[in-house]
Amino acid sequence: MQPLDGTVASGPKLLQLKDILRAELIAILDTIRGAKALVLDKDLSGALSAVVEFAVLKEHGVEKIFLLETGVGDAPVQGVVYLVQGQVSKLRAVASQVRALSGCEQAVQVVPRRTLLSERVLEEEGVLGDVRLGEFRLDAVPLAEDVVSLEQPGLFKALHVDGDFSGVHGVARGLMRLQGLWGFFPRLVGKGDYAQVLAQSLKRMRAEATSGAGAMSNMFDAAVILDRAADLSTPLLTQLTYEGLLSEVFGITNGAVATGENSRSRVNVRGDDAVYTAIRDAGFADVGAALSAMTQQLQTTYESRHSARTVQEIRRFVGRLSGLQAEHQSLKTHVTLAETVQKRTQTDDFAATLEIEQTLVGGDDLHTGQRAYIDRILALADPHAYVPGVSSERQAPPPAAAPNSLHKILRLLCLSALWRGSSLKQKQYDAWYDEIIAAFGHHHTITLANLARAGLLPSSTRNNDSASANGLGFLRRSLNLVVADDADDVAYAYAGYVPLLVRLVQILAQDPAVHSPASNRYAALLRPLDRTRPSREMQQPGGGIRGGWAGWEDVLSAIPGASFDETQVPPSALNRSEKALGDKPPATLVVFVGGCTSAEISALRRLSQLHGHRYVVATTEVLNGNALLDPLIQHK
């Protein structure tokens, strides 16, 4: 799969966010004069390293970086800058260190926002007067040229289990930063209750910032805001792109693959490695071929040294040498990684898991063998297993088969509950409940209650509203989610399944692929007559948000959460924008409230290629199923 070279040229340059964040960080560091220590929240290290290099920190007086967990200890310091997230536990840790270091100049920078809550915690700990309290707005970190992280990990749990909506405000601030750079999104369209809350926050912030004025973006035609709760099933499925599988097998935390052995052996998977960018979105089956092609290419380039005759030619070759060596190194790394991944994909265990997923997504009930498999992994569960994408420190290289972790089992269970809906028998559910308690401990009564609360498992008081009663079956049929042949390219990331949220974007883009041949008649019956399906050949796929939700009310009502479609364009500017329709903004922002998977990003990239239009992703975090579930799990 080719990177989107052609379209990157136009549209917003996300990487410019990096410079802004770096400048803000430097300003913060400079508030403490002279040499200083930086005490860093571990959860920020990834985002921070994406923004700034250590050398820059050093230029601004940072002599040493300590982790918040360990603290400065006995090391002699003159000044300290704390960079921490605003959780109570972390601020308490900061407070105890501030007390221990009383006497030197200290600044506490809360990320991403100095809240009243953080002030209160420090006040209760009695250190508010001793420190300079500020904030570091690390709220929009570019991960690639088309992905920006809004840095709200665990937002799904906070919203849907705790009811703590403070993260939405943070997301809104991050998006305001984007709007500050590229103008206001002319349109806010989306699905899901918290997506709507976010849209309202955005409108309110805009009103407060500009009293309703402010230039409309000519970069983005709209922001499509999608609540993770609208599609819980996709992240639970096994991702089948290269990056997705790295995340499933090794786990990607803080922008690096944890390959085991020790904490140093982490492979950076940011967008600045040409080898990686070329294969990250590829379906895993194609990765081998791509790597071998690249190896051969590299070989040929190396060989060219023999044909170098003149001094100029030799110089040209030597000049490229360091680049080639970096590429060589990167290739080597990825070949090794791909090998390990392949070992995993060839196990019975992987096949069994995948088969269960496909059975459920296909709308069928599990057969006896599949039930037996689930019984077996439940019986032989390992409560202490390494969970890729969750545990950040790990020592052992990944075992050949995925360990039977709670996460793995819950993913299958939740998938059953979501796709079977009311067809999942109460007896079966109760049996699994008991099995999980027996295998993992009684405190997972809380885990299971959390999952039920978040809508991942049926709640104990079963309500037969239409959405849950039908399961996702209705959506599968009406949105053509399962594609038998690979004709629908977007389905490649999950081998034949199209992520629901990507389909929603396609609806808005009026992509004819949404209508399946099978459901064609059915669709024609339901849609208004003038919206009959345009044939694929006739309609040139164009990108961007063209349609609205109209005509899709039945589908939307089957997805939990409100749907909305609002314009931010002031009425006076409407005529002008219509006139200027000729030059359409080159990009659409797709916002995931509660995180999205690598494979979903890959699917949107494929969509960008098909439509010739950039879909830029802004997500609160990039996660896999384990990372989605982990915050909901009651840890011992």
Partner 1 sequence: MATAEWHALQDTFYRKHRLYQMQWAGLDLSKFRIAASSFGGPIALQRDDRQLLEAGSAPLLDSSIHVYAASGHSIGTIEYEAGLHMAGFSWNSREELICVQEDGNVRVFSLSGRDPSSFSLGPEARERGIAECCFWDQGLVAMTQDFRFIYVNDIGEPKPRMLADAQLTQPPHCWTVVPPHLTLSRHVEVLVATGATILCVDAAGVQDQLLDQGPYARISVSPNGRLVALCSRQGRVQVVSTDFQRSFSECTSDETSSLLQVAWCGSDAAVLSFADKVQLVGPFGALLTFTQTLPAYLVQELDGVRIFTAEEHWFLSKVSEESKSVFQIGSTAPAALLYDAVDSMHAHSSRADEIVRSIRDEMPQAVDTCIAAAGAEPDVSVQQSLLRAASLGKSFLSVYNGDKLVDMCRSLRVVNNLASYSVGIPATLVQFHSLPLEAWISRMLNRNLHQLALRVCAFMDASADQVYVHWACTKIRASTLDDDALYRVLRERLETLPEGRSIASYVEIAEVANSCGYSRLATRLLLHEPRAANQVPLLISMNQEDAAMDAAVRSGDADLVYFVIFHLFKSQSLSDFFQTLSRTPSAARLFEKYCKEMGAPVLEDYYYQDDAFAKSARLIITENLSESDTSKLVANLKVALKMLNSDKSCALESRAVDMQIRLVQQQGEEYAGLTLNETLAKCLESGNYSRANKLKAEFKIPDKRFYYIKVHALVQRRDWVELARLANARKSPIGYRAFVDECIAALQFQEAAKYIPRCDAEDRASLFMRIGFYHEAAQAAMHTRDIEALRQIHSSATDPTLQHDIAQNIEQLSRS
Number of residues that bind partner 1 (CB under 8 A): 59
Tell me how far apart the alpha carbons of residues 31 and 508 are, in angstroms, rounded to a whole number.
47
Q: Which is nearer to partner 1, 184 or 440 (CB)?
A: 440
Tell me how far apart the alpha carbons of residues 103 and 101 are, in angstroms, rounded to a whole number.
6
Q: Which is nearer to partner 1, 215 or 401 (CB)?
A: 401
424 contributes a contact to partner 1 by CB under 8 A: no
208 Cβ neighbours under 8 A, 6+ residues apart: none
Tell me how far apart the alpha carbons of residues 427 and 436 are, in angstroms, rounded to a whole number.
14
Q: How many CB atoms lie within 10 A of CB 133?
A: 18
Stretch that binds partner 1, among 30-38, 507-515, 548-556, 593-601 (CB under 8 A): 30-38
Tell me how far apart the alpha carbons of residues 626 and 409 are, in angstroms, rounded to a whole number.
10
CB neighbour class for 593 (10 Å; exposed up to 12, middle 13-18, buried from 19)? buried
Among 19, 430, 553, 554, binds partner 1 (CB under 8 A): 430
23 contributes a contact to partner 1 by CB under 8 A: no
Q: Which residue has the tokens 């690639």?
A: 144
Q: Element (H or E) spanning 244, and its range?
A: helix 242-249
Q: Which is nearer to partner 1, 35 or 318 (CB)?
A: 35
Stretch that binds partner 1, among 178-186, 446-454, 520-528, 571-579 (CB under 8 A): 446-454
Give the CA diameter of the chain. Answer: 81
Kindly state the smallest distance separating residue 442's Cβ from partner 1, in Å.
4
Query: Which residues in 479-605 belong to E strands, given as ranges?
Result: 563-567, 587-593
Residue among 629, 502, 628, 598 nearest 247 (CA):
598
Q: Tell me phi and psi for residue 280, to 5 degrees.
A: -60, -35
204 contributes a contact to partner 1 by CB under 8 A: yes
Among 163, 319, 528, 571, binds partner 1 (CB under 8 A): 163
Among 376, 536, 546, 576, binds partner 1 (CB under 8 A): 376
Q: Do the beta carbons of residue 39 and residue 106 sit within 8 Å? A: no
Q: What x-and-dash track marks residues 76-105 binding partner 1 by CB under 8 A?
A: --x--------xxx---------------x
Tell me how far apart the alpha carbons of residues 549 and 153 are, in angstroms, rounded to a whole number.
29
- Amino acid letter, residue 298: L
Q: Which is nearer to partner 1, 264 or 442 (CB)?
A: 442
Q: What x-and-dash track marks residues 334-373 binding partner 1 by CB under 8 A?
A: --------------------------------------x-
Kindly state the smallest distance separating residue 405's Cβ from partner 1, in Å.
14
Stretch that binds partner 1, among 203-211, 213-221, 316-324, 483-491 (CB under 8 A): 203-211
Q: Which is nearer to partner 1, 30 or 313 (CB)?
A: 30
Kindly state the smallest distance separating residue 163's Cβ from partner 1, in Å.
3
Q: Which is nearer to partner 1, 329 or 426 (CB)?
A: 426
53 contributes a contact to partner 1 by CB under 8 A: no
Among 7, 149, 201, 405, binds partner 1 (CB under 8 A): 201
CB neighbour class for 255 (10 Å; exposed up to 12, middle 13-18, buried from 19)? buried
Q: Which is nearer to partner 1, 329 or 460 (CB)?
A: 460
Kindly state the smallest distance separating residue 120's Cβ from partner 1, in Å.
6
**Letter string b/e over residues 543-566, b meaning 16 or more CB atoms within 10 A of that residue's CB:** bbbeeebebbeebeebbbbbbbbe
564 contributes a contact to partner 1 by CB under 8 A: no
DSSP 399: P
Show the tokens assigned to 513: 């692929």
Stretch that binds partner 1, among 155-163, 304-312, 576-584, 585-593 (CB under 8 A): 155-163
Q: Which is nearer to partner 1, 201 or 353 (CB)?
A: 201
Residue among 635, 452, 591, 596 nearest 171 (CA):
591
Among 296, 329, 423, 445, binds partner 1 (CB under 8 A): 445
3-state secondary structure of 482: strand
Tell me how far apart the alpha carbons of residues 285 and 296 are, in angstroms, rounded to a whole number.
19
Show the tokens assigned to 223: 């922001």
Show the tokens assigned to 113: 């926002």
Residues in 475-504 that interact with partner 1 by CB under 8 A: none
Kindly state the smallest distance separating residue 221's Cβ from partner 1, in Å.
25
> Which residues of this protein are in contact with partner 1, per CB under 8 A?
30, 33-34, 78, 87-89, 105, 113, 115-117, 120-121, 129, 132, 158, 162-166, 168-169, 197, 200-201, 204, 207-208, 211, 372, 375-376, 378-381, 383, 430-431, 433-435, 437-443, 445-446, 448-449, 460-461, 634, 636
